């Protein structure tokens, strides 16, 4: 038995900028960020937490609200940074609004 540990990358990492290709960079990032949020909200329900606070891009706020509804959660608080491009969001169970 070998002591060597092998890891596989589940999501390929891309560190390039597109040049007017088929997909827009902002769309790629938004999809990745919202997929991550979807998983975090799933985990929140799995451990039966009452609320979760995350920071997302403000442009993705409406999509985040829809993803929260999928998990029976509501967006209860929003706080924007000084430039308005980031938003700290608190999600809570719909029947436990803080």
CATH number at residue 43: 3.30.1660
Is 3 part of a structural domain of the chain?
no
Q: In which domain, by residue range, is 82 found?
A: 25-93
Q: Report the number of distinct structural domains present in the chain.
A: 1
CA–CA distance, 71 with 54 (Å, rounded to integer)? 15
Q: Please report the pLDDT score of residue 10 as a whole number.
A: 59
Task: pLDDT tens for the chain, 98 residues: list them.
Answer: 567 766 665 555 556 666 666 667 788 788 899 999 999 999 999 999 999 999 999 999 999 999 999 999 999 999 999 999 999 999 999 876 55
Is 9 part of a structural domain of the chain?
no
CA–CA distance, 51 with 24 (Å, rounded to integer)? 32
CA–CA distance, 98 with 94 (Å, rounded to integer)? 10
Is 82 part of a structural domain of the chain?
yes
Phi, psi angles (nearest 5°) of residue 3: -85, 0
Single pTM value for the model: 0.74
Is 85 part of a structural domain of the chain?
yes
Q: How many secondary structure helices (H) and strands (E) does the chain include? A: 2, 3
* Closest CA relative to residue 28, chosen from 8, 57, 65, 66: 57
């Amino acid at each position: 038995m070998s002591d060597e540990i092998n890891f596989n990358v589940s999501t390929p990492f891309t560190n390039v900028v597109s040049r007017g290709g088929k997909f827009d960079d902002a769309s790629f990032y938004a999809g990745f960020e919202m997929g991550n949020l979807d998983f975090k909200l799933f985990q929140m329900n799995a451990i039966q937490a009452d609320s979760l606070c995350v920071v997302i891009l403000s442009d993705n706020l409406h999509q985040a609200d829809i993803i929260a509804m999928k998990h029976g959660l509501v967006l209860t608080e929003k706080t924007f940074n000084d430039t308005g491009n980031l938003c700290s969001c608190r999600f809570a169970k719909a029947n436990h609004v803080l």
